[in-house]
A and B are shown apart, each in its own frame.
Chain A
């Protein structure tokens, strides 16, 4: 109420000279500022900060997910049992393994193809369409299609192995077959996102650099290796971070296609939280697992941020 009034008074005041570099902003402008900030800030505190605090509190109680209420204070026992649980560490390892399998592919291939596409002048829309269209498809539709293509005997991908003379692995029934299946699906599904990021970054490189290089007689390959790739290093750093974070948060594909199987050999961290929290209803325990996982993800972002800041400082200094 008062904030809305603040906007009206702001309009009534003659004119707060914006040019004067006053430390204290005019009262009307101050109130208007908070009026514009308030809705976002309220939602941000409620639904972004709120869950973090609630998770932190619950992790010290034996809350169950079926009933309302906190339950009893149990101290750090949820944390000790999470950290001692081998299933938890196995699920963290699966998320890390998925990240190790997907990240190199999802950086090298989009980089390569974005560079190749940048050398062409015609039909760029076609490549953008083909590579990026999968990214807007819901994960479950992707999984339906790939599950069909992975079917033993009738599946297209199963048969494609036969055409090149390789024995097709049991895609959904064996551990490494399952990893292959889910990595290939992820590559197809999310390739376009990094492709677009690289394409945009390549367009920002000045044409003159290439012209100078080709006058000096540099071959296309030399140009790519000693101009494009080095100049894309900051972009690669950013894509690396986004990709690592996205891969560590994997859930959809593994849950829908494999249900974490076979025999929970691919169950990722997020599904472990899902299972303990919503199948076994151990809310407090799952909250402790959430907090450990949360710290891991935040530590990676913060670490990347600090490293980048130090690099920038050393460039300037």
Chain B
């Protein structure tokens, strides 16, 4: 068997491989074309919103599908900024998201540190509780949560938005798995030097934890900036609303003010799009890590 085939070995095989290489190249070219086409389609809503926000309304009604204007202008932006307290909405969203980030990073990294490097009674129980917390659908509990916050007299305050966001089991696991990677020898060495646990946490572990911190910080910021249902229930005053809640009140309002509506949408998109463009890598890696591990 082998002897007969050995007579014509290399050439046929090489031809076959060249053939499959050519196939692979054609396949990759096809893949690139498909993907690019799809990605361009995915960008259409963004582009369309920007274009519309810069066109005058009468032109939109006359030629709705023309992506061009003879009369580019910023009237839409002027209109929405003067009729809606968008500045306040930005400010509220920014304060709530920043406070959520600070508290989540501190509180969740602390417990992550304890679980990874300290021995204390009841540790398996605490781990189990947090693991179970991953399964709790917190978003479904808005009604009892509302009643609780009313009893605590916190409705309408920033705290009502920040406090529930801080208890994030996912963030704990991100810190926990990252901190477990820090060698115990390093921590023992710090102990030998007489550092107390707080200093080990603060000066040894946290500086090594930057990737985990940035992942948790950015994801918390995005989640809390985009939260809708809970802020809708908690913040009833127009001026105290966040961007998503404020914007939602514009829908179905004045149907003919297309450019103003799209200008509002663009303003709602801009801050987070900027955050995303700046931290693209950290965001996508953070999602990959929290989702899979």
Chain B residues contacting A55 (CB-CB under 8 Å) are: 141, 143-144
Q: Does the CB pair B167–A63 fall under 8 Å?
A: no
Chain A residues contacting B83 (CB-CB under 8 Å) are: none
Known: A29-B119, A33-B114, A302-B135. A200 touches B292 (CB 8 A): yes
The A-B contact count (CB < 8 A) is: 333
B184 within 8 A of A: yes
A68 within 8 A of B: yes
Chain A residues contacting B283 (CB-CB under 8 Å) are: 132, 136
Name the CB-closest residue of A to B67.
Answer: A156
Q: Does the CB pair B23–A220 fall under 8 Å?
A: yes
Min CB–CB distance A86 → chain B (angstroms): 21
CB within 8 Å of B: which of A261-317? 270, 273-274, 277-278, 283, 286-287, 290, 293-294, 297-298, 301-302, 305
Min CB–CB distance B197 → chain A (angstroms): 4
A83 within 8 A of B: no
A197 within 8 A of B: yes
Complex CA gap A30/B114 in Å reads 10
Complex CA gap A301/B138 in Å reads 13
Q: Does the CB pair A156–B23 fall under 8 Å?
A: no
Stretch in contact with the other chain, from A3-11, A74-82, A96-104, A174-182: A3-11
Q: Does the CB pair A37–B111 fall under 8 Å?
A: yes
Complex CA gap A191/B35 in Å reads 14
Q: Does the CB pair A52–B226 fall under 8 Å?
A: no
Complex CA gap A294/B139 in Å reads 10
Q: Does the CB pair B140–A156 fall under 8 Å?
A: no
Name the CB-closest residue of B to A6.
Answer: B197
Q: Does the CB pair A238–B291 fall under 8 Å?
A: yes
Complex CA gap A18/B118 in Å reads 9
Q: Does the CB pair A29–B197 fall under 8 Å?
A: yes
Q: Mark contacts of B274-285 with chain A using CB atoms, 8 A cut-off: 1 yes-contact digit, 0 otherwise.
A: 011100100111
Chain B residues contacting A255 (CB-CB under 8 Å) are: 229
Complex CA gap A317/B198 in Å reads 43
Q: Does the CB pair B247–A144 fall under 8 Å?
A: yes
Name the CB-closest residue of B to A252.
Answer: B228
Chain B residues contacting A256 (CB-CB under 8 Å) are: 228, 248, 251
A140 within 8 A of B: yes
A87 within 8 A of B: no
Name the CB-closest residue of A to B268.
Answer: A141
Interface residues on B, range: 35 or more
Min CB–CB distance A158 → chain B (angstroms): 9
A54 within 8 A of B: yes
Q: Mark contacts of B257-293 with chain A using CB atoms, 8 A cut-off: 1 yes-contact digit, 0 otherwise.
A: 0100110110011001101110010011101110110
B102 within 8 A of A: no
Chain A residues contacting B44 (CB-CB under 8 Å) are: 156
Q: Does the CB pair B144–A113 fall under 8 Å?
A: no
Number of interface residues of A (CB under 8 A): 112
Min CB–CB distance B256 → chain A (angstroms): 10
Q: Does the CB pair A48–B65 fall under 8 Å?
A: no
Q: Does the CB pair B166–A43 fall under 8 Å?
A: yes
- Which of B118, B123, B130 interacts with A32 by CB under 8 Å? B118
Known: A36-B201, A44-B129. A140 touches B45 (CB 8 A): no
Q: Does the CB pair A143–B27 fall under 8 Å?
A: no
Chain A residues contacting B195 (CB-CB under 8 Å) are: 11
A73 within 8 A of B: no
Q: Does the CB pair A130–B191 fall under 8 Å?
A: no
Q: Does the CB pair B265–A144 fall under 8 Å?
A: yes
Q: Does the CB pair B164–A47 fall under 8 Å?
A: yes
Q: List 16 A-B contacts (CB under 8 A).
A: A11-B194, A29-B197, A37-B120, A55-B141, A113-B38, A133-B273, A134-B42, A134-B45, A138-B247, A141-B244, A145-B46, A148-B49, A148-B52, A219-B20, A219-B27, A290-B141
Question: Residues of A with Cβ closer than 8 Å to B?
Answer: 7-8, 10-11, 15, 18, 24-26, 29-37, 39-41, 43-44, 46-48, 50-52, 54-55, 58, 63, 65, 68, 113, 116-117, 119-120, 125-134, 136-149, 151, 153-156, 159, 188, 191, 193, 196-197, 199-201, 214-215, 217-221, 235, 238-239, 242, 245, 249, 251-252, 255-257, 270, 273-274, 277-278, 283, 286-287, 290, 293-294, 297-298, 301-302, 305
Question: Residues of B with Cβ closer than 8 Å to A?
Answer: 16-17, 20, 23-24, 27-28, 31-32, 34-35, 38-40, 42-46, 48-49, 52, 60-61, 64-65, 106-108, 110-111, 113-115, 118-121, 123, 126, 129-130, 133-148, 150-151, 163-164, 166-167, 169, 172, 184, 187-188, 191-192, 194-199, 201, 222, 225-226, 228-229, 233, 243-245, 247-248, 250-252, 255, 258, 261-262, 264-265, 268-269, 272-273, 275-277, 280, 283-285, 287-289, 291-292
